[in-house]
């Protein structure tokens, strides 16, 4: 190694291109060696080394949260809930530097088992890569960054539950990559859509699409949907995200239909809606201050027929946003722990616009104030406490208040 370096260090004669090239390639070798001789690998024997190399291909991790939710109702004794909300086990494997498998197995409320992600990715280069399997739909911010240390408050923002049905994932494939010259990241996937009807209507006016998530479990496909997101990170202190989702819902009625059976076809048509959803998210970071906003707008077609056919009340248009501010008060104390008070205001309506035949429920419009603290004793571990206030348009109905405490982790 040293000999190679010494040889390479001999003076370069600029007129001798051959020498220049040979030194150049020697440098390359020297450089390659330098990368492999990490202090960890250098002192190991072959078996240890192989084992380490092999284990470095396996990735194990996880995240989870345990919550205490206490509704606060005046003059009423209310029971709180203690919930092991989710425990997620992450397993990944790098077959080689290009091919990788990522899986996340979720245990929700202790006994419900889900696969949250399971996909293969092929890393071609920074510009274009491929992914296929059970994918997260890139809509807004939280659906992709849903680990407890990544968001403020014990529970995820309500907008990311009632409008964006976090964790929203479906089977699909597509491309992703970056264009560093433009400081841009993109994702473009063809994915399976929501199940809109499987004997009963799966969408409603309270939490819109949440009941229609197929999650890759024997999911039915009639119409593939398109999911895309562009993120811009080149503007000083600002990160912007623009998401889009376009397609139709799936229906169990579209199965074994003969094209001549017009009545059945019409019925099947009434069980399907088309969805156009747009998301905008932005974050501003200045030193230890963070301000984040997100807005989601969705437009559904054929809701009149769908609501009549399935006796549902899905909104024709859905709109909501939130604004959140936080500050790490420990930032100036050179401490590795972080104490971050935050406040968030959410405003969303799952029946922002309804079709002529659908009753607009005043409780579909919700305003949420939530304030609390995230305390990170160390990276990856977070203790949370917050107070939540939810008000709907229902006249005379008091605001719902709740106090929440939680522990979240990620490793």
Partner 1 sequence: MKLLTLFLILSFPLTDYDSAEYHSKWMKKIIKQSTKHFNQKTYLYPLETDRITANFMNSSFYFIKDKEDTVLGIAVISLTNGCVVGGCSTANANETRYEQFYILSIYNRDKELSQLSVLDYPGEYGYEISAKWWLKQFLGSSSKKHTYEQNIDAISGATVSAQSLVKEVNILNTFIKTMTY
Query: Min. distance of Cβ 17 from partner 1 in angstroms?
Result: 13
Interface map 182-221 toward partner 1 (x if CB under 8 A)? -x-x------------------------------------
* Site membership for partner 1, residue 276 (CB under 8 A): no
30 is an interface residue for partner 1 by CB under 8 A: yes
Q: Taking Cα atoms as reference points, which of 405, 410, 406, 332 lies closest to residue 378?
A: 410
Provide the minimum distance between the beta carbon of 8 and partner 1 in the complex, in angstroms, as a whole number. 5
Instruction: List binders of partner 1 among 280-299 (CB under 8 A).
Output: 283, 285-288, 290, 292
Residues 297-326 that bind partner 1 (CB under 8 A): none
Q: Which is nearer to partner 1, 115 or 264 (CB)?
A: 115
Token pair 């345990």 is found at 66
Chain residues 53-112 in contact with partner 1, contact rule CB under 8 A: 55-56, 58-61, 63, 90, 92, 97-98, 100, 102, 104
- Interface with partner 1 in residues 234-253 (CB under 8 A): 234-237, 239
Shortest spacing between CB 306 and partner 1, in angstroms: 31
User: Of 346, 320, 240, whose CA–CA distance to 285 is shortest?
Assistant: 240
User: By CB under 8 A, is residue 163 in contact with partner 1?
Assistant: no
Q: Report the residue number, 80 or 174, with the smaller CB distance to partner 1.
A: 174
Task: Report if residue 410 touches partner 1, rule: CB under 8 A.
Answer: yes
Smaller CB distance to partner 1: residue 231 or 349?
A: 231
Contact between 98 and 80 under an 8 Å Cβ cutoff? The reply is: no
Q: How far is the CB of 177 from partner 1 (least distance, A)?
A: 8
Give the per-residue contact string, 118-137, with partner 1 (x = CB under 8 A; - = no).
Answer: ---x-xxxxxxx--------
Question: For partner 1, which residue of 43, 332, 356, 396 counts as binding (CB under 8 A)?
Answer: 332
| Stretch 353-392 residues interacting with partner 1 (CB under 8 A) | 379-380
Looking at the Cβ atoms of 38 and 259, the one nearer to partner 1 is 38
Q: Is 411 in the site for partner 1 (CB under 8 A)?
A: yes
Minimum Å gap between C-beta 328 and partner 1 is 6
């Amino acid at each position: 190694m040293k000999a190679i370096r010494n040889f390479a260090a001999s003076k370069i004669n600029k007129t001798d291109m051959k020498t220049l090239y040979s030194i150049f390639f020697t440098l390359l070798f020297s450089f390659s060696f330098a990368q492999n001789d990490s202090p960890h690998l250098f002192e190991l024997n072959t078996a240890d080394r192989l084992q380490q190399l092999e284990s470095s291909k396996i990735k194990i991790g996880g995240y989870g949260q345990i919550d205490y939710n206490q509704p606060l109702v005046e003059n009423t004794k209310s029971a709180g809930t203690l919930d092991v909300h989710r425990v997620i086990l992450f397993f990944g494997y790098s077959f080689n530097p290009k091919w990788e498998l990522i899986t996340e197995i979720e245990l929700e409320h202790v006994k419900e088992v889900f696969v949250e992600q399971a996909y293969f990715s092929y890393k071609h280069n920074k510009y274009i890569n491929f992914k296929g399997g059970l994918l997260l739909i890139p809509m807004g911010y939280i659906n992709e960054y849903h680990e407890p240390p990544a968001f403020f408050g014990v529970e995820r923002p309500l907008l990311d539950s009632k409008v964006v049905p976090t964790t929203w994932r479906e089977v699909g494939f597509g491309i992703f990559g970056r264009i560093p010259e433009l400081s841009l990241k993109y994702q473009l996937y063809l994915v399976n859509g929501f199940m809109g009807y499987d004997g009963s209507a799966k969408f409603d006016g309270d939490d819109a699409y949440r009941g229609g998530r197929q999650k890759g479990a024997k999911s039915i496909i009639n119409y593939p949907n398109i999911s895309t997101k562009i993120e811009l990170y080149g503007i000083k202190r600002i990160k912007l995200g623009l998401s889009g989702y376009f397609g139709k819902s799936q229906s169990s009625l579209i199965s074994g239909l003969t094209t001549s059976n017009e009545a059945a076809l019409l019925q099947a048509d009434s069980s399907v809606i088309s969805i156009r959803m747009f998301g905008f998210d932005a974050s501003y970071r200045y030193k230890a201050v963070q301000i984040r906003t997100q807005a989601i707008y969705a437009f559904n077609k054929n809701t009149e027929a769908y609501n009549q056919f399935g006796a549902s009340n899905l909104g024709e248009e859905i709109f909501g946003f939130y604004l959140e501010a936080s500050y790490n008060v420990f930032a100036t104390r050179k401490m590795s722990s972080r104490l971050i008070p935050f406040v968030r205001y959410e405003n969303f309506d799952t029946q922002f616009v309804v079709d002529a035949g659908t009753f607009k429920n005043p409780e579909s419009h919700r305003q949420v104030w939530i304030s609390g603290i995230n305390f990170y004793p160390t990276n990856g571990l977070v203790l949370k406490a917050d107070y939540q206030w939810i008000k709907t348009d229902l006249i005379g109905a008091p605001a719902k208040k709740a106090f929440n405490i939680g522990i979240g982790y990620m490793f």
